[in-house]
Amino acid sequence: MTKINGADAMLQVLYDWHIDHIFGFPGGSFDSGMNAIHNFKGKIKYIEVRHEEAAALAASAEYKFTGKLGVCFGSAGPGAVHLMNGLYDAKYDKTPMVAIVANVPTSRQDVDFFQAFDEKPWFDPVAVWDHQIKRADQIPSMMDEAIRQAYAKKGPAVLILPKDFGWDKINDNFRVNYNAHAASPNYAAPKKESVDAAVKLLKEAKNPVVYFGIGVKGAGKELKEFAEKFKTPLMSSVLAKGIVEDKFPAYMGSIGRVAPKPSDDIQTHADLVVWVGNNSPFSLFFFNPKAKVIQIDVDSEKLGKRHAVDVPILADGKKTLQAIIDAGEERSESPLYKAAMADRENWDSWEASFVDSDQTPVRPEPIFDVINKEADDNAVFAVDVGNINIDFQRLMNLHGDQRWATSGLYATMGFGAPASLAAATVYPDREVWNLAGDGAFAMMNQELLTQARYHMHVLNVVFTNETLGFIQAEQEDESHQPLSGVIIPDNDWSKVAEGMNVKGVVVRNKKEFEDAVKEFKNMDGPMLIDVKLTHAMPYSTELNTLDDPAFVKKYQAEALKPFSYFAKKYGVEDAAPASSASQDAEVDSEPDTTSGASQH
């Protein structure tokens, strides 16, 4: 029988699973893996990152963009440890990925050897599946199992490969059943009695709303039809942005600290919440605890987990929304619906008033106005963590086939640059934007070298405001403490980019940014734009005290009206103050691409 190196057999399994690239950084303990990568160079592309953390974050981001798992690797010791941050991003956001971790030779384990430690216990808490190869002939079957477990359990799988096994010759007789895995899922339709119960609650409610998550990705049509027929404002988790286009009038945006004002205004006034495909851990801070809930999910463990539920529906989200639409009677506009629509119109007008602002340093609105106009209809956005999440949620109008990803529940800074590597690799013919604050970009900026090396068409937009803005706002608005550890020095990121073989530009106003974007669109390869941004914080939906003149002045919010104005105008009964729940980001935590379960 034909023999093959263990490491080559491992890559053959990846190839048979239709995996055509891998992210990682070499090391002596992974020499057999590097030899296999060389042997497969015509089949599997190797993206050599500058740090193993970037490899793991890129692999995690890949599934968020595509629904297909990514693969990364690291050497024994420090290489293994460096992978951990990306693995936790995948764990928290329920993202399938596989990490191949090298280990020292079996004869050198457990004897205090160079770069050696007991790796399996280290990865047990983060991995959905974590095993070390015990015999070389296990390698292909264990690689196949790692992929299956990552998909099935929706998280990171870790395969630990001792150095000596990668070189050992084994029988080349393992074959992958990829086609069986590729079968299309078909989740259950709702039962008639559940649909009838939901319709009854919708008919009786005074102020119903819809709260949807990434689990109903692909159900934008049904969500809009539902809102139009039953006159329900739509609110989403942060990661569900884009399922319904931002310009749809009834979509109020996400909820929480990063959200627009209207969604936070209306959340506590609903008496019925249609809760679909959403497992946000922050949901207990939102909505009236006495509100009735219709919850739709394919995972029974999620039903009632975040809120008392009156009608639990264990079924596909998209199918259930359509069934309720077909069975229900059209509603007239509720007081809350009218107030929400007027509140959003007021908010949109206020934001639009700044798009041509000549204030210096520049505000974010002019910058995002250019992005909204110039980004391709199929552009891909890698969004880092910090104030950029706030600006992206509020100011970015996603449309067409645009896609985006961020680090959700784990919220690790430095996500953007590695995610851009994943986006540029899987979508080589699409425009990729990496949007990051200066604090987050400083953590992973070395991946500009990777962008340059592989000539990736990535536009890195660094919003330089010389502070860790998200943390500054917490210290000012929540703990009311003196600013500590948040101020960072200004830096010319264009010079850093030029030193890494990336075109760099500094801009200070809308016209300069627009010119720089047009230059990028007419060139090949990566570019960096250092935007010198205002030091002012984004509007605080946590405080949202428009009856306070100091608050109004701070945020230039003279044109904004408090929700009490709209509540009184349209007769919203028992109007409560807008929520001041303090949350870093409101996210989903259980993925499923086609069903009602919360997913990336």
Residues 449 and 498: beta-carbon distance below 8 Å: no
Q: How far, CA to CA in Å, does 164 sit from each of 7, 13, 29, 159, 432?
A: 10, 19, 9, 15, 40
Residue type, 35: N
The closest alpha carbon to 5, from 184, 187, 175, 137, belongs to 137
- Told to judge if 313 belongs to the known catalytic residues of this protein, a careful annotator would answer no
Active-site option among 81, 309, 325, 471:
471
The closest alpha carbon to 36, from 173, 130, 170, 133, belongs to 170
Active-site option among 114, 204, 478, 573:
114
Active-site option among 50, 108, 257, 344:
257
The closest alpha carbon to 429, from 404, 456, 468, belongs to 456
- Told to judge if 586 belongs to the known catalytic residues of this protein, a careful annotator would answer no
Report how far residue 505's alpha carbon sits from residue 502's, in angstroms, rounded to the nearest whole number: 10
Report how far residue 228's alpha carbon sits from residue 294's, in angstroms, rounded to the nearest whole number: 18
Residue 210 tokens read as: 């819809």
* Residue 519 main-chain phi, psi, to 5 deg: -65, -45
State the Cα angle at 459 between 461 and 496, rounded to 5°: 65
Cα of 156 vs its chain's centroid, Å: 16
Active-site option among 109, 115, 138, 446:
115
DSSP codes of every residue in 225-284: HHHHHHT--EEE-GGGTTSS-TT-TTEEEE-STTS-HHHHHHGGG-SEEEEES---TTGG
- Told to judge if 230 belongs to the known catalytic residues of this protein, a careful annotator would answer no
Active-site option among 22, 52, 165, 296:
52
Quick check: bond before 249 cis, omega within 30? no
- Told to judge if 471 belongs to the known catalytic residues of this protein, a careful annotator would answer yes
State the Cα angle at 53 between 50 and 54, rounded to 5°: 55
Residue 530 tokens read as: 């250092």
- Told to judge if 165 belongs to the known catalytic residues of this protein, a careful annotator would answer no
Residues 317 and 338: beta-carbon distance below 8 Å: no
Q: How far apart are the first and last CA of the chain?
A: 43
Report how far residue 583's alpha carbon sits from residue 422's, in angstroms, rounded to the nearest whole number: 28
- Told to judge if 132 belongs to the known catalytic residues of this protein, a careful annotator would answer no
User: Which class for 321: exposed (0-12), middle (13-18), buried (19 or more C-beta within 10 A)?
Assistant: buried
Report how far residue 141's alpha carbon sits from residue 175's, in angstroms, rounded to the nearest whole number: 9
- Told to judge if 476 belongs to the known catalytic residues of this protein, a careful annotator would answer no
* Residue 95 main-chain phi, psi, to 5 deg: -110, 115
The closest alpha carbon to 338, from 580, 545, 552, 573, belongs to 573
- Told to judge if 210 belongs to the known catalytic residues of this protein, a careful annotator would answer no
Q: In 10 A of CB 267, how many CB atoms? A: 27
* Residue 5 main-chain phi, psi, to 5 deg: -60, 145
Residues 410 and 91: beta-carbon distance below 8 Å: yes
Residues 442 and 467: beta-carbon distance below 8 Å: no
Active-site option among 228, 374, 474, 498:
474
Which residues are part of the catalytic machinery? Answer: 52, 114-115, 257, 385, 470-471, 474
